[in-house]
Amino acid sequence: MSEDIEKRVDIEIGKRSRERRHKDSDLLETVEEVFDKPTILAIIELKNRGCLAELKGVVAAGKEARIYWAKNRNGGDLAVKIYLTSSAEFRKSIWKYIKGDPRYEWITSLPSHKLMSVWAKKEFSNLRKMYEAGVSVPKPFCVYRNVLVMEFIGSEGVRAPLLKEVVEMGKIDYEMAQKIFGIIIKNIYKMYWFAGLVHGDLSEYNVMIHNDNVYIIDVSQAVSLSHPNAHVFLYRDVMNIVKFFRDEIGLEQYSADKLFDYIVSKKVNELEKVLEE
């Protein structure tokens, strides 16, 4: 870390600890123990930009990122995804999505903190394209360095359950499952035709269910249709979803091959028909 950054962080932290009653103290108490200084600075910058007011607590700690529940200036809920480290394993795991994508091939040679920044920006840009295309994803608000601010899916600081979890808890019946299945496939279609993207890591772990709405999350690795493996990833996404609903719910009637064909050849009428049966 450059001395310059270090100095600025110390100043920020010093300023805020002298002003204990200042609202920022909450923010920093949460973050000081957990984050490195560039991350603290990034959070402060987002705060200065009016993107967030207060970090409340951890919602989930994944392998490379943590999700926090946060508040905006009006007291509304936010989700903040903070990319923290990039292990050798992470570099390896993202290579297949990057390789062949002319937009991103250069990034794996970056130093760790830069890689995480590009990755956060990539997730933000994918989220925005999807959101604008009408895909059901958390609405993206801001991104700065390795920190991404988006709509919180859940209520009162409690995240909504994943598709995997609602099924495990036995919370959905056959009919409901059919509905959710249809919504996911239609979202894959919209993603493909209106956002020009393939998710690439779609499964029961990256779908959230909230108030009868279905949200697709975790889109950092999504690839554009020009990626040489876009269709391999698309087939795998469709297959993951078909398999999950077949094995866990008993929805036997859907063929991944057919759905894949209807999606890529834009046979929207056939798709609707299959999904309504």
In the complex, which residues of this chain contact Mn ion (CB under 5 A)?
206, 218
Please enumerate in sequence order all residues whose Cβ is within 8 A of that of 155, keeping only pairs 6 or more positions apart, or say none. 77, 210
Interacting residues toward ligand ATP by CB under 6 A: 59-60, 62-65, 67, 79, 81, 138, 150-154, 159, 162, 205-206, 217-218
Asked whether the beta carbons of 116 and 217 are under 8 A apart, the reply is no
Nearer to ligand ATP, 36 or 77 (CB): 77
For tokens 């499964």, the residue is 203
Alpha-carbon Rg for the chain in angstroms: 20
Residue 207 DSSP one-character state: E
| Options 4, 24, 26, 218, the catalytic residue | 218
The arrangement of strands across the sheet holding 77-83 comes to 54-61, 65-71, 77-83, 147-151, 140-144
Asked whether the beta carbons of 70 and 157 are under 8 A apart, the reply is no
Binding partner selected for residue 154 from Mn ion, ligand ATP, none, CB under the kind-specific 5 to 8 Å limit: ligand ATP
| Options 4, 101, 201, 212, the catalytic residue | 201
Nearer to Mn ion, 9 or 150 (CB): 150
| Minimum distance, C-beta of residue 138 to ligand ATP, in the bound complex (Å) | 4
Closest residue (Cβ) to ligand ATP? 62
| Minimum distance, C-beta of residue 74 to Mn ion, in the bound complex (Å) | 28
Nearer to ligand ATP, 45 or 151 (CB): 151
Nearer to ligand ATP, 162 or 183 (CB): 162
**At 193, which amino acid appears?**
W
* Pairing mode, strands 147-151 and 207-210: unpaired
Binding partner selected for residue 64 from ligand ATP, Mn ion, none, CB under the kind-specific 5 to 8 Å limit: ligand ATP
Asked whether the beta carbons of 151 and 139 are under 8 A apart, the reply is yes
Nearer to Mn ion, 117 or 220 (CB): 220
| Minimum distance, C-beta of residue 59 to Mn ion, in the bound complex (Å) | 12
Give the helix ranges, DSSP H, for 133-264: 163-168, 174-194, 230-249, 256-264
| Minimum distance, C-beta of residue 218 to ligand ATP, in the bound complex (Å) | 3
| Minimum distance, C-beta of residue 152 to Mn ion, in the bound complex (Å) | 16
- Transcribe 46-114 into DSSP letters: HHHTTS-SEEEEEEEE-SSEEEEEEE-TTS-EEEEEEE----HHHHHHHHHHHTT-TTTGGGGGS-HHH
Binding partner selected for residue 153 from ligand ATP, Mn ion, none, CB under the kind-specific 5 to 8 Å limit: ligand ATP
Binding partner selected for residue 163 from ligand ATP, Mn ion, none, CB under the kind-specific 5 to 8 Å limit: none
Catalytic-residue membership of 218: yes
* CA gap 90, 64 in Å, rounded: 7
Binding partner selected for residue 35 from ligand ATP, Mn ion, none, CB under the kind-specific 5 to 8 Å limit: none
| Minimum distance, C-beta of residue 206 to Mn ion, in the bound complex (Å) | 5
Please enumerate in sequence order all residues whose Cβ is within 8 A of that of 91, keeping only pairs 6 or more positions apart, or say none. 108, 115
Nearer to Mn ion, 9 or 197 (CB): 197
Residues labelled catalytic: 201, 218
